[in-house]
Chain A
Amino acid sequence: TQLLEQSPQFLSIQEGENLTVYCNSSSVFSSLQWYRQEPGEGPVLLVTVVTGGEVKKLKRLTFQFGDARKDSSLHITAAQPGDTGLYLCAGAQGGSEKLVFGKGTKLTVNP
């Protein structure tokens, strides 16, 4: 059973467009993290959200944690080719030392 469902699985857009990717679950998470992974490399943390309803901004990226702490979204404004990569959400439950990862959204931004 996949606890975290990411959508869309693939996204190909033109430079300058806006996009939103989603990370949904029927389970409650104490925190959610978003990672970005480039080909041939390991994932790199972008942000952690811990409070229901929390919104965090990282330059052109806006992250939101759902009020019920079951879902999250990542919005990119004016996408650039450098945003190309695999975006992964990961959730922590209770006091677990483990993270549960979604399958990822593969984003391609074409010049």
Chain B
Amino acid sequence: DAGITQSPRHKVTETGTPVTLRCHQTENHRYMYWYRQDPGHGLRLIHYSYGVKDTDKGEVSDGYSVSRSKTEDFLLTLESATSSQTSVYFCAISESYKGPDTQYFGPGTRLTVL
């Protein structure tokens, strides 16, 4: 199994509070991704990173920011959480520099915003 961990695994927070989710990898892969998974919508890309300090938006980036200061860590921040951000968040990594390759997924973080 690829070495990907996500923390926390579960979190309950209140509307308006900031939340940071962490993805940590031990594979030294270049690409890292944050997805959210919701019933009826499947997996949707929030943000991704193609190197340290290099990030770009996905299809559902509003209300989220990311940072990658080290190869191994990719942080997802909800500046002011809303109930619509209640979801399961998955981090994924990929090593290919020629385009999408196998994406290895973390175990997910279940976030509930009350």
Contacts and interface: CB of A to CB of B under 8 A. Distances in A.
Interface residues on B, range: 20 to 34
A99 interface: yes
A24 B106 CA distance: 27
Contacts of A88: 42-43
Contacts of A94: 99
Contacts of A75: none
A101 interface: yes
Contacts of A40: 107-108
A97 B42 contact: no
B43 A97 contact: no
A90 B103 CA distance: 10
A31 B101 CA distance: 9
Given A42-B90, A98-B48, A48 B102 contact: yes
